[in-house]
Amino acid sequence: MTDRWKSNPMHWCDLCKCWMNDSKSSILNHERGAKHQESLAKKLREMAKKADADKIAAKQLAEALGSIEATAAAAYARDQEAAAAAEHAAAAAAAAATGVWEWDAASGYYYNEPHRWYFDPKTRWYYGGEPVAWAQDPPAASLPAAARFGTAPHAGGPEPPFKKPAAGAAAGSGSGAGAKAGGGGGGGVAVTTVKKVVALPQHPQSLIGGHQMHHVGGRIGGAKGVGEGGEEGAKRKRDEGAAGGKGAPAGKGGKPMDPAEAAALARREAARQRVQQRTQQAFGLS
């Protein structure tokens, strides 16, 4: 029987790029050799050069990023200044177009010099135009909407009440003023009363005559002529009269009714009354 062949393990030196026996003595002799020492020194020199190059590249990158950020910050500052200047110019142009309402203490009105209109803060009416006259809503050609008092800026003078009163407060004050004026005989506030017509929904029993129960005294079947006022009630009264008693039950031919039959009729009448009561409760008649 022959032995199986087995190869000797080998060791690879990455610096020298060569193979050797994977034994301690072979590896130690190779590492002490001149070729390996020279390869090791070369590798260390390359690593040191790479580290220096990386430091220089990082420094150059930081300087470049700093220069870019400084340039961007300067451009942003210039854009901000330009935007502020443009906004100021637009505000100045708008103020020049709409004008500023200045308080005129001599007349007691606000005055808009570009459009030559006065404004009374007490009555909130305008005075100006061609021809000169008082107007609550001046024409847009003479006084644009952007130049109206409250929209355009104003300076000095009293502050008129821009806020409108609430609807409830206005209605209450108007009613009080109308009542006061009516009591004093003067002109009051016109009050209009609006009547609202609401269509009631149709009763669900309208198609079978159940909605007419309140017209027939709430009797079951009253809308169809059935019940106490119909043929059955009349026949029962005739039978009772023929029996000769005021409530005494009678059978056929006027003879006294059998007690068992009378009890059955009484139970049927009680059942009919219970059904009638439940039906009245269902229709809201009781």
Let me know: does 241 contact 250? Beta carbons within 8 Å: no
**CA-closest candidate to residue 44, choices 56, 34, 55, 36:** 36
Give the model confidence (pLDDT) of 70-102 as tens digits: 999 999 999 999 999 999 888 788 777 788 889
Read off the pLDDT of residues 95-152 as tens digits, 9 standing for 90 and up: 777 888 899 888 889 999 888 899 998 888 999 988 888 998 898 888 888 888 888 8
> 12 forms bridges with which residues in the sheet?
19
> What is the mean pLDDT of the segment spanning 52-70?
95
The whole-number pLDDT of residue 169 equals: 42
Show the DSSP H helices in 104-214 as ranges.
Answer: 167-184
- The least confident of 175-184, 201-210, 250-259 is 175-184
What 3-state class would DSSP assign to 263? helix
Of 256 and 174, the one with more pLDDT: 256
**Dihedral (CA of 20, 25, 29, 31) sign:** positive
Given a contact cutoff of 8 angstroms between Cβ atoms, the answer to whether 218 and 285 are in contact is yes
Read off the tokens for 261. 């039959």
Q: Which one, of 157, 161, 139, lies nearest residue 148 by Cα?
A: 139
Q: Which amino acid, residue 152? A: A
pLDDT of residue 130: 86
Query: Two tokens at 70?
Result: 């400084």
* Mean pLDDT confidence for 223-228: 52
Of the candidates 105, 95, 100, 114, the residue with the CA atom closest to the CA atom of residue 157: 105
- Overall average pLDDT of the 243-266 stretch: 71
Task: Assess whether pLDDT exceeds 80 at residue 21.
Answer: yes
Q: What would the two tokens of residue 199 be?
A: 């269509």
φ, ψ for residue 119, nearest 5 deg: -135, 130
d(CA 39, CA 173) in angstroms, rounded, equals 105
- The answer to whether the peptide bond before residue 160 is cis (omega within 30 degrees of 0) is no
Residue-level pLDDT at 253: 61
In the 8-state DSSP scheme, what is residue 164?
A: P
pLDDT of residue 205: 55
Query: Which has the minimum average pLDDT: 13-27, 136-150, 181-195, 245-259?
Result: 181-195
3, 24 contact by CB (below 8 A): no
Task: Note the pLDDT of residue 182.
Answer: 43
Q: Reduced to 3 states, what is the DSSP secondary structure of residue 120?
A: strand
pLDDT of residue 92: 80
Q: Distance (Å, rounded) from C-alpha 112 to C-alpha 102? A: 7
| Sequence ranges of the domains in the chain | 8-98, 100-155, 219-282
For 19, residues 6+ apart whose C-beta sits below 8 A from its C-beta are 10, 11, 12, 13
Which has the closest alpha carbon to 175: 188, 194, 193? Answer: 188
Mind listing the pLDDT tens digit for each residue in 230-239? 455 556 656 6
Q: What is the mean pLDDT of residues 224-232?
A: 52
Gap between the Cα atoms of 115 and 141, Å rounded: 10
The length of the chain, given as a count of residues: 286
Chain mean pLDDT for the chain: 77
State pTM to two decimals: 0.32
Tens of pLDDT, residue by residue over 169-203, are 444 444 443 434 344 444 455 667 766 666 655 55
